[in-house]
Amino acid sequence: MNRIRTIAPLVILFVLVIAGASYAQQVTKVAIINSQKAFETSLEGKKALGQLQDLDSRIKTNLQKMDDAIRLLDNRLNTGRLTMTTEALMALQADIDKKTTERKRYEEDQARDAQALSTNLIQKIRTEMVAVIEVLAKERGLELVLDAATSGVVTASPTIDITDEIVRRYDQNKSAAVPPVKK
């Protein structure tokens, strides 16, 4: 009985050591992707960035026109203070206030719309890229794919970076999905 008590813990310890060694030998296949780089270098990402830049440019142009109109009215108010009637000055000031409010509302509305467009475009591309990542991960037997742009990865071997492969496959999928233009 005493002998069994001495041998049983040793057998259990031996089994645990063997199990631990075999578990430690299992290699987890890991890859990284830089989502920011993938977005910026993919055809759809470039197209989305172009759309957002065009929208931003149009908004800035319209705001500049509104600022110019307000500045003209302000100049008219300042130069006409001595010659205009009180009613005319008040009407001009009311017009300036109205245009200033319109400008502020326009800027807020456009900022909200631009943010919504940006979010929608990014989410659409992200969803499509995740599908491509999942296919590649399954093909290569990857158990974990980290996003270098958001996960806090400090350093990683370039051999596990799949960003370029994902962009290439994503662009191929997008170009295959677009029907040719008939003339």
CATH 3.40.50.300 corresponds to the domain 27-177: no
- Average pLDDT for residues 73-102, to the nearest whole number? 93
**What is the sign, positive or negative, of the torsion defined by CA atoms of 84, 86, 87, 90?**
positive
Provide the pLDDT confidence category of residue 157 given band limits of 50, 70 and 90: confident
Considering only residues 4 and 57, tell me which one the structure prediction assigns the higher pLDDT. Answer: 57
Long-range contacts of 67-75 (CB under 8 A, 24+ apart): 67/103, 69/99, 70/96, 70/99, 70/100, 70/103, 73/99
Count the Cβ atoms, other than its own, within 10 Å of residue 157. Answer: 8
48's CB contacts (< 8 A; 6+ apart) are 39, 121, 122, 125
For 61-69, what is the mean pLDDT?
Answer: 96
pLDDT exceeds cutoff 80 at 31? yes
**pLDDT > 70 fraction of the chain, expressed in percent and rounded:** 81
Q: What is the pLDDT of residue 68?
A: 96
Mean pLDDT of 146-154: 79
Q: Residue 100's pLDDT band (boundaries 50, 70, 90)?
A: very high
User: Residue 66's closest CA among 120, 122, 105?
Assistant: 105
| 142 Cβ contact partners less than 8 Å away, ≥ 6 residues apart | 29, 30, 31, 136
Note whether 121 and 52 are within 8 A (CB). Answer: yes
What was the pLDDT predicted at 135?
92
Does the predicted TM-score (pTM) go above 0.75? Answer: no
For the chain, the first-to-last Cα distance in angstroms comes to 93
Measured between alpha carbons, how far is 50 from 105 in angstroms, rounded to an integer? 25
Determine the Cα–Cα distance for residues 33 and 169; give it in Å rounded to an integer.
Answer: 13
